[in-house]
Chains A and B, each alone.
Chain A
Amino acid sequence: MQDKLIQKLEILSDAAKYDASCASGSAGKRKAGKTDKTGIGSLTGGSGICHSFTPDGRCVSLLKILMTNYCIYDCHYCINRVSSSVRRARFTVKETVDLTLNFYKRNYIEGLFLSSGIVGSPDLTMESMVRIAKSLRIDHGFKGYIHLKTIPNASPELQTEAGLYADRLSINVEMPTQPSLNKYAPEKDLGAIHGSMNTLKDKIAEHKADKSYSGKRPPSFAPGGQSTQMIVGADDSSDKIILKTSVNLYKQQKLRRVYYSAFSPIPDASEVLPLKPAPLMREHRLYQADWLLRFYGFNLDEILQNDMLDMEHDPKLAWALRNRHVFPIDLNKADKQLLLRVPGLGARTVQKILAIRRYTKLSWVDLTKMRLPLQKLKPFISVSDYLPAIHLLDSAHFELQFKQPKQFELFAT
């Protein structure tokens, strides 16, 4: 009996690992109240704790599993598609709830990240998922994190109910364009996916707005917002198309996070798919670009010169190399927006510099004490007692010094 549960867990966690999002997003703070004698768990604010790390470098924060890997759809990139010969399994509602609580009580996890293949129908599947979240919240007073991956084409009522129990909802767009979806996920429809995001976006906004005038706190609705994922390198969409899609999703659907997942070969793959994995560097560059777009005040045209991101240099450095006339930037005078554009200065360092500047002038020694990446910074900045030799920026060989050692091939065949 118990061994059977181990087998299910093997299959259903293995199937969940292709999802890129791992950490819990921030969904505010929460804890069991003083008079609550049975509830368990807390949210500490900020993103959740990483309770372990696997040898692929990823954080283990949530129990990330599929409810089932049976599926009636036939998405080519997916190991669970109906035409795949993978071993199948299904957790019951109770098994999932118990496993989550048992893991949580031992301090293994921050909560549950549940997705699922589609069994029976989208609604039947979604209903079981909602029952799991509901049981955790209502029957067990669970205050930890719950992320539900909503099922495409499930009814708006069920999606709305999911929002009452989950901290975050997500629905994967998978591919940036409808033609790509047609080819790789024939049952999925970009319009429907956007429609569902839109419904949830409105609900989230509604519940947030409520707070300001009603005396009593309304039940929270997906306080951690929505996220999505795109597979990179299975279809031939360019970085430009992918990032354009992201910018749109952030703006129109108010998504908290877009995840990029470099296509990685799956067992029993379909013929339509490439055999080689997409380079991890591409995924990495997309994340960097995404970050610059959201937190560093860059716009798409600045980051992308042509259809693809520069693989050699990170997008911020690449921008700086194209815009040498802006540099050197005086760290004692430049405003925040400009400081954020200096290669080698992260948002936190910029904050620090601004704080220090109020009390004292920054000199070269200060920079060494702050342990900044001076080699990288050197040509782009000036401080009270340092100015880069101007020919540094002008030299034709300038770019060469930033050449990175070639990434070792992670998967040499």
Chain B
Amino acid sequence: MKTISITSVPGYDEWRIASRACLAQSIPPEEIIWQSSQSIQDDLFGDNGQTTKVYEPKATHSIPKSVLALFKYALCHKDASRFALCYRVLWRVIFENRNLIQLKTDNDILRLNALVKAVKRDAYKMSAFLRFRKLVIEEQEHFVAWYEPEHFSLEIKLNFFQTRFKNMRWSILTPYRAAHWDTENLTLGDNPDSSAYPDDDQIEKYWLTYYANIFNPARIKKSAMLSSMPKKYWKNMPETALIEDMINKSNARARKMILDGKKS
């Protein structure tokens, strides 16, 4: 048995280096225990001897790009079994079937695709639901966001934010990592402090006003809203504080629309 510890999150680079090393030594998936810093406490095989230091050998196996692209997403999932799963798929692609990922009903592939899908969705939600607040530091505008993704989605979306807000200075803080952009360079830092997120923003009240007025009280469809915007994301979005009140008052508002209509 070999134990490999992944110490960073999401851990893609470490996993890649370790996997190459294991492949080079032809270590089958069943003989590796993958440990990650987020799961060490609940690992049943924890005291199974010392961890092996990994090294990076020359690449010997060519892996289809499409497979690596899936791993990039899957390894951003918070499920600690992701490392073992990806290594197993890697192994099977090399020694069993190069077209393995086409077998969409294979159990490993189903699981892999489920992880990919969850991360993609979470990353999309991050690009949608993250809210910046403006700070002025030494007469320069700086936009700061605090966002709690479900998975390690920040790394997936960095490119998006750099492109869209290229000429803005911004910081995105998540519970595990911060990204800072100064219009040219990106810096990353671990375990940021959420108190750096400003309490308010002068534009936010306009946003709340807009949100409260753009909806049609005669057409409440709460379940449709919840399936697209599950409650777990609400803490990131100031407008969600209005929802309960909007729903409670909707009946009265819609009734008023009709009554007003009858009057004229």
Scoring A50, A57, A99, A369 by chain B CB atoms within 10 A of each residue's CB, the highest score goes to: A57
Which residue of chain A lies nearest to B203 when distances are taken between CB atoms in the complex? A102
For window 56-72 of A, CB contacts with B under 8 Å fall at 56-60, 63-65
Known: A9-B213, A13-B209, A55-B250. A49 touches B124 (CB 8 A): yes
Q: How far is the CA of A223 from the CA of B205 in the complex (A)?
A: 33
Cβ of B258 and Cβ of A265 under 8 Å apart? yes
Task: Report yes or no: A55 in contact with B210, Cβ–Cβ below 8 A.
Answer: no
| A52 with B239, Cβ < 8 A, contacts A108-B207, A411-B218 known | yes
- CB < 8 Å: which of B211, B246, B257 contacts A266? B257
A264 at the interface (CB under 8 A from B): yes
B165 touches A105 (CB 8 A): yes
* Contact assessment for B131 and A108 in the assembled complex, using a CB-CB cutoff below 8 Å: yes
Is A295 engaged at the interface, CB distance under 8 Å to the other chain? no
Partner of B105, one of A51, A56, A108, A365: A365
* Closest-CB distance, B198 to chain A (whole angstroms): 11
Q: Is A277 an interface residue (CB 8 A)?
A: yes
Within the complex, the shortest CB–CB distance from B238 to chain A, in Å, comes to 10
Interface residues of B in 99-150 (CB under 8 A from A): 99, 102-105, 110, 124, 127-134, 143, 145
| A378 interface residue per 8 A CB criterion | no
Whether B132 lies near A38 (C-beta < 8 A) is no
Mark each residue of chain B from 208 to 237: 1 if its CB lies under 8 Å from any CB of chain A, else 0.
011101111111111111001100000001
- A residues less than 8 Å from B223 (CB atoms): 57
Given A32-B167, A55-B225, A16 and B214 contact (CB-CB distance below 8 Å): yes
Contact assessment for B221 and A105 in the assembled complex, using a CB-CB cutoff below 8 Å: no
User: Which of B103, B133, B166 counts the most chain A CB atoms within 10 A?
Assistant: B166
Quick one: CB contact mask for A254-268 with B, threshold 8 Å, 1 for yes? 000000000011111
Is A325 an interface residue, CB under 8 A from the partner?
Answer: no
Closest-CB distance, B90 to chain A (whole angstroms):
19
A52 touches B229 (CB 8 A): yes
Q: Let me know if A52 and B237 touch, CB within 8 A.
A: yes
Q: Would B214 and A60 count as touching, CB distance under 8 A?
A: yes
| Chain B window 57-82, contacts with chain A (Cβ cutoff 8 Å), 1 for yes, 0 for no | 00000000000000000000000000
Is B190 positioned at the interface, with any CB of A under 8 Å from its CB? no
B100: nearest residue on chain A (CB-CB)? A359
Chain A residues in 8 Å Cβ range of B134: 105-106
Query: Of B130, B207, B222, which is in contact with the most chain A CB atoms at under 10 Å from its CB?
Result: B207
- B211 in contact with A52 (CB, 8 Å): yes
Q: Which of A40-48, A175-183, A243-251 contacts B (4 or more CB under 8 A)?
A: A40-48
| Residue in contact with B206 in the complex, picked from A56, A99, A277, CB distance below 8 Å | A99
Which B residues lie within 8 Å of A370 (CB)? 104-105
The one of B215, B250, B258 that contacts A58, using a Cβ cutoff of 8 Å: B215
A366 and B105 form a contact (CB under 8 A): yes
Residues of B contacting A266 in the complex (Cβ-Cβ under 8 angstroms): 257, 261
Q: Which residues on the B side are within 8 Å of A369 (C-beta)?
A: 105, 110
Residue of A nearest to B224 (CB): A57
Cβ of A334 within 8 Å of any chain B Cβ, yes or no, is: no
Chain B interface size band reads: 35 or more
In the complex, the answer to whether B261 meets A107 with C-beta atoms within 8 Å is no
With A53-B225, A57-B225, A358-B102 known as contacts, the answer to whether A32 contacts B207 (CB < 8 A) is: no
Cα distance A235–B223 when bound, in Å? 30
Is B201 on the interface with A (CB-CB < 8 A)? yes
Inter-subunit contact B218/A31 (CB<8 Å): no
Inside 8 A of A57's CB, which chain B residues have their CB? 219, 221-225, 228
Contact A410 B167 (CB under 8 A): no
B127 CB contacts on chain A under 8 angstroms: 49, 107
Q: Cβ of B164 and Cβ of A31 under 8 Å apart? A: yes
A359 and B103 in contact, given A55-B215, A264-B219 (Cβ under 8 angstroms):
yes
A54 located at the interface, meaning its Cβ lies under 8 Å from any Cβ of chain B in the complex: yes
Cβ-defined contact, B99 with A55, below 8 A: no
Chain B residue nearest to A98 (CB atoms) is B203
Q: B104 to A355, Cβ gap below 8 A?
A: yes
Q: Does A413 make an interface contact (CB < 8 A)? A: yes
Q: B-contacting residues of A (Cβ < 8 Å)? A: 5-6, 9-10, 13-14, 16-18, 31-32, 36-42, 44, 49-60, 63-65, 85, 99, 102-103, 105-108, 264-271, 273, 275, 277, 280, 352, 355-356, 358-360, 365-366, 369-370, 410-411, 413
Beyond A16-B214, A17-B215, A54-B246, 7 additional pairs, beta carbon < 8 A: A31-B166, A41-B164, A106-B143, A106-B201, A265-B257, A275-B261, A410-B219
16 examples of A-B residue contacts, CB within 8 angstroms: A9-B209, A32-B163, A32-B166, A36-B166, A37-B167, A49-B127, A54-B214, A55-B222, A56-B215, A57-B219, A105-B165, A107-B127, A267-B257, A269-B261, A269-B264, A366-B105
Nearest 9 Cβ contacts at the A-B interface: A57-B224, A57-B221, A54-B215, A269-B261, A267-B260, A366-B105, A42-B164, A53-B229, A13-B213
